[in-house]
Amino acid sequence: MNFPDVPGPADTAGRARLPSKLSPMLATPGVPPRGEAGWAYEMKWDGVRALAFIEDGQLRLASRTGRDITVAYPELTALGRAAGTQLLLDGEVVAFDDGRPSFAQLQQRMHVTSAVQAARLSGQVPACYLIFDVLHADGHPLLDQPYARRRELLEALDLNDVSWQIPPSFTGYAAEDLLVVSREQGLEGIVAKRLDSPYRPGRRSGEWRKIKNVLRQEVVVGGWRRGEGERTGQIGSLLVGVQSPAGLVYAGHVGTGFTRQTLQLLGDRLAARQQPASPFAGEVPREHARGAVWVRADLVIDVAFAVWTPEGRLRAASYQGLRDDKDPADVIRET
């Protein structure tokens, strides 16, 4: 395999060392490129972004925020031995339900920190690592290489197994047609990537565009209201917001989509974050603020919703999952 000669700090074998950490490149919400050449398209996977650092057969998985999540996915450790001596890969950890990625299924795996529990769950809810980029290979940094070249090198690695695979990248197709295919397959959407784009760590670039089939949004929890009836003594709804130049602005409330286990998990997390004052910049509507329990705004959740109202509120928002892999400071309105 012919790699570019790119200088960098070298190890004793003369290879450029793997970086100890890296922030993944992010896509900008947008519309499909129309009549524009020079784009590739990938399906958008409903999972958890993860970088795979592989050195001498050992694997370390890092979340988007840099947290080590290797222990949560023991079935992926064999990727280190299969991949070779030195690689840095970018991809998404998913869990399948009836052949489709299911974020609800993955929720059972995401927050596990016990090796024993993770090993048990790996047999019940197996995870799969979907690899879509290679950033460093065999002592050669590849960040400055165009997407098309990185993709060529990635596919030459032939990393396909039960617990990891390289999903296809499509060129020569209309974005609208691939969006239809993604919708028919029950997927979240597509990601358009410019063929000449380098990899820009930590940046949300228009060279990568994500186009969604359904409206999804990450939001920060700033408070909650107590439930009634069957939910007495539990969370009734979450008060959520998104970041703005003025701070965290109120974006509405989320009162559906919770399971009994979810309510217990969120209740435990929020109890440790309680504070006397609202974390939102500006006023929260009186009917929502009445009786609210305010919390430290560092918990991120994912929601599906019908539409943004003219006031900037989520209509008919439904809880989809907890996002430990997202930094609350990065949560902005996307759709």
Task: Give the closest residue to 321 by CA, choosing from 258, 238, 240.
Answer: 258
Segment 164-186 shows an average pLDDT of 93
Query: Which residue is listed with tokens 């919770």?
Result: 258
Active site residue 44: yes
**Predicted pLDDT at 14:** 61
Residue 296, C-beta contacts closer than 8 angstroms, at least 6 positions apart:
273, 274, 275, 279
189-241 pLDDT, tens digit each:
999 999 999 999 999 999 999 998 888 999 999 999 998 888 888 899 999 99
In the chain, the domains with their CATH numbers are 26-212 (3.30.470.30), 216-330 (2.40.50.140)
Catalytic site residue from 21, 44, 193, 210: 44
pLDDT at 4: 53
Output the pLDDT for position 7. 44
* Under 8 Å between Cβ of 27 and 191: yes
Say if CB 303 and CB 317 are below 8 A apart: yes
Q: What tens digit of pLDDT does each residue of 266-283 get?
A: 999 999 999 999 999 988
Q: Could you report the per-residue pLDDT of 28-74, keeping only the tens digit for each?
A: 988 888 877 899 999 999 899 999 999 999 999 999 989 999 999 99
Query: What's the pTM?
Result: 0.79
Return the closest-CA partner of residue 235 out of 223, 218, 252: 223
